[in-house]
Structure 1
Amino acid sequence: MLQDQEALISLGNVRQWVRVAGTVHATVPLVVLHGGPGGNHWVFERTAGRLLEQHRTVVYYEQRGCGRSEAAEDPSADSYHVLIEDVLALIDWLGVPAVDLLGYSFGGGLALEVARVNPQRIRHVVVQAPAFHLADPEIAKSQIAGLTWAARGETADRIRRLDVPDLDRRLDAIWSLVDIETVDRFLFQDTEHARRNRSGWAESGLVNTGDLARALSQQPPPAVADHLPDIQRPVLVVSGRHDRNVPLSFTQQVAEQLPWAKLVVFEHSAHFPDIEETETFVETVLTFLESPMG
């Protein structure tokens, strides 16, 4: 029987961090996939996760080389296929026939790919601002515009002076110039929530090495990017109205291509509705997860 616990478990021969909470509810486990690539669940555990645990069995899982998980001997060999196999191995470890998935940002794209590859192991899927690939042109254009808007003073001047027409190279150049305040304005609608998020990052002591992002950047997008209509599972698609990282227009296109999708837009959020409108986000997720399969 599944029990509340925190552990490093072997998935694909790499010890990866998992925390299980809320098993007293005996529900279908809700496996949460973080963003990045290279992120962690520290802040989510202490915001939306804490409320979800009051109603559901929640499984926090940090991908190989991310957060509190160990890295493979050769991180450059990491791939979408390996990440998918890790999630399926996690479901096996849980000892259940199927799970619900909740993925935010990069984790949303990963959740959809898992549901496409092995639908019999997945019941419902929740994706918040799902991203499939770091080099998606629409996302890159939105990030360039968003960071340019968020920049102030000398940072804004340096961005304006950039003479780099290539889309990907220009985005990389802008990211190399921006400061903490610019990133916070870019990712959040409310600067107070941005401060809370950054305080959580500092408290965690966890860092994004960039290894996973570098490995994935050398690969084509996962197949799900072109096969969304093949996902025959109920999907809740969530977006912040002011998301400049993964724009609402992109998220809307994802929802339109999914056969059983419901789109919910959070009016007072940017990239993190789970932080900026936590209680409403959790209520929305719980209502969806308790809905019939259709």
Structure 2
Amino acid sequence: MIQKDGEYQLLINEVGHWIKIEGSLNKTIPLVIIHGGPGGNHYVFERTAGPKLAEERTVIYYEQRGCGRSEIPYSEDAYSIKLLIKDFYCLLEQLGIKKVDILGYSFGGELALEIALSYPEIINKIVLSAPSLMFSDTVFQIQIQGFKTIGDERFLERMEKILSQNLSIKEKWENVWSLADSEVVDRFLFEDQKVAKCNRRLWENSGLSNTGKMMKALQMNPPCPPLEKRLNQIKHHTLILTGIHDRNTGLKISNIIEQKLSNSKLEKFKNSAHFPDLEEEKKFVTTTLEFLR
């Protein structure tokens, strides 16, 4: 059992997982932070909103198998929603924790909901920041439309050539993303480009990268039935935090999730896109802490 602040490596289901504990002296129900991607990490969050949450809450970060500072699994096929859920449960077992709050951002929000469905008894409250439903064609459509709103003339010309081809919506989506350089991605993900630049500096400073292996594996083996059709089974008190300019997962996805959940509240961020935790950090932290109290 680990109860002190610090960084640790835990062997979970034969894969070494990076974890970090902050705010242990607060002795609250632990708040476990679940990162997005798929294939992302916590480097930015643990240097921005995370420490502010830890001023009041006991916060636990962990990076999923093959992500960030955790080890890469023995096989490229060793990624699935079921395995990620099992890793989470085993993590809590090793830490000796019986009940947690969870905060998942982007894909992490989707994973948080899957965990709540599989192990409802270990979850207290749920916070979702810009949650995704990545196995839905709706997300492909939202992102394509999002690129249309921020692309320059040259980008839009190339994009229209792709969209005019006889391809599936997923193929069009993949090809549109292949056009996007870092500047386009920053405009896509953020309203405030100063915040975007700070975020990109932290990405670069981290030395961590997303290999894309988890995304590829998860798309090859999506949950069945889709999460959207199972959301009404989740009864936990849930807070959804979403930027109204989110071009990545979109307000539409948050509205779907809020409507399907029986005990949820949607808080909109008027000056944010996909990262309200960065673009409106103070409101993000305050709203989250009030909900968890």
- Cα shift at 1:93: 1.8
Find the aligned partners of 2:3 and 2:165 in 1 and give their Cα distance: 53
Q: Displacement of 1:154 after TM fit? A: 2.5
Could you report, residue by residue, the CA deviation over 1:222-253 in whole angstroms, capped at 9, with x for unpaired residues?
65331111112111111110101111012111
> Aligned partners of 2:56, 2:91: CA distance in 1, in Å?
21
- Show the counterpart of 1:226: 229
TM-score norm. by structure 1 comes to: 0.95
Q: How many angstroms apart in 2 are the aligned matches of 1:80 and 1:222? A: 11
Residues 101-160 of structure 1: per-residue CA shift (max 9 Å, x gap): 000010000001111111110100001121133x41111111001112222142232112
Q: Deviations over 1:207-228 (max 9, x none)?
A: 0001111110101236533111
The answer as to 2:241 corresponding to 1:238 is yes
Matched with 2:274 is 271
Look up the match of 2:285. 282
Which of 254, 257, 261 pairs up with 1:254? 257
Distance 2:84 2:160 in 1: 38
Q: Distance in 1 between matches of 2:224 and 2:117?
A: 11
d(CA) in 1 for partners of 2:72 and 2:133?
22
| Residue 98 of structure 1: aligned partner | 99
- Preserved contact between residue 3 and residue 20 of structure 1 (Cα < 8 Å): yes
Q: Which sections of structure 1, spanning at least 5 residues, go unmatched?
A: none
> In structure 1, what is the equivalent of residue 38 of structure 2?
37
Structure 1 residue 57, shift from structure 2 partner:
0.7
Q: Percent identity, aligned pairs only?
A: 43
Residue 99 of structure 2 aligns with an amino acid whose one-letter code is A
Q: Is contact 2:241–2:266 with CA below 8 Å preserved after alignment?
A: yes
Give the paired residue count: 289
The Cα RMSD (Å) is 1.2
Could you list the structure 1 runs, at least 4 aligned residues long, displaced by more than 4 angstroms after superposition. Answer: none
Distance 2:155 2:189 in 1: 17
Matched, 1:174 2:176: yes
Aligned residue identity for 1:176 = S
> Which residue in the other structure is 2:188 paired with?
186
**Distance in 1 (alpha carbons) for counterparts of 2:49 and 2:291:** 15
Counterpart-to-counterpart distance in 2, 1:174 and 1:57: 41
Q: Which secondary structure state, in structure 2, belongs to the residue aligned with residue 263 of structure 1?
A: strand
Q: State TM-score, norm by structure 2.
A: 0.96
Q: What is the rounded CA distance, in whole Å, between the counterparts of 1:267 and 1:151 in structure 2? A: 21
Q: Aligned runs of 1:60-75 on 2, under 5 Å? A: 60-75=61-76
Contact 1:132–1:222 (CA under 8 A) maintained in structure 2:
no
Output the CA distance in 1 between the equivalents of 2:284 and 2:111: 20
Q: CA deviation at 1:50?
A: 1.5
Instruction: Report if the CA contact (8 A) 2:40-2:210 is conserved.
Output: yes
**Alignment of structure 1 residues 108-257 onto 2, 5 Å:** 108-133=109-134, 135-162=135-162, 163-165=164-166, 166-221=168-223, 223=225, 224-257=227-260
